[in-house]
Amino acid sequence: MYSKEENQKLKREFWIAFAEKFPRKWMLYDTKIKDFSFKFFVDNTKSQVLIDIEMRNNDLRNIYFEKIESLKTILEQEFVANLIFEKNYMLESGKTISRIWVEQTNVSVSNRKYWDEIFNFYNQNMEALEYFFYEYGDYIRDLKTNV
């Protein structure tokens, strides 16, 4: 087992190595929608590429989620297969958000032998989700057009 400091150092090295392998600016929080973001996650069992919709206003959060859900067939057939859609996802903090994600299991941030596999998973899936958002972002952002 690693100490807390060793884990922090290893994760820092992981993210630096990822940035060196794929040196580009990811969209992440730059969606032009408040509390709507793309995220990377990794731990010692899985890696994930996520879309988190975190508005406090449940009606607004549900509208954004349902807009993406209305495009699910296109999203999965043309961009990223095997997505998980959860309208009411409970964070450890107790906050409810909407989350859409794809995950890769049986990998570990603590084991460097998995890093390239995780990096490639991240690059392929985040890039695809960004392309999807570039293509359908206007529709998703437009609250006058409901599903």
Look at residue 13 and give its three-state secondary structure: helix
Estimate to the nearest angstrom the gap between the alpha carbon of 48 and the chain centroid. Answer: 6
10 Å CB burial of residue 26 (0-12, 13-18, 19+) is middle
- 24 is a domain residue: yes
Residue 146 binned pLDDT confidence (cut-offs 50, 70, 90)? low
C-alpha 7/C-alpha 123 separation (Å) is: 23
- 8 is a domain residue: yes
What is the total residue count of the chain?
Answer: 147
State both tokens at 122.
């991240």
Residue 145 binned pLDDT confidence (cut-offs 50, 70, 90)? low
- 135 is a domain residue: yes
Domain count for the chain: 1
Q: Which helix (H) or strand (E) holds 52?
A: strand 46-53
pTM of the model: 0.91
Residue 63 binned pLDDT confidence (cut-offs 50, 70, 90)? very high
- 122 is a domain residue: yes
- 18 is a domain residue: yes
User: What is the mean predicted confidence (pLDDT) over 62-84?
Assistant: 96
Q: Which amino acid is at 18?
A: F
User: What is the mean predicted confidence (pLDDT) over 111-127?
Assistant: 97
- 147 is a domain residue: no
How far is CA 147 from each of CA 67, 113, 118, rounded to the nearest angstrom? Answer: 6, 44, 34
- 42 is a domain residue: yes
Containing structural domain, residue 24? 4-141
- 146 is a domain residue: no
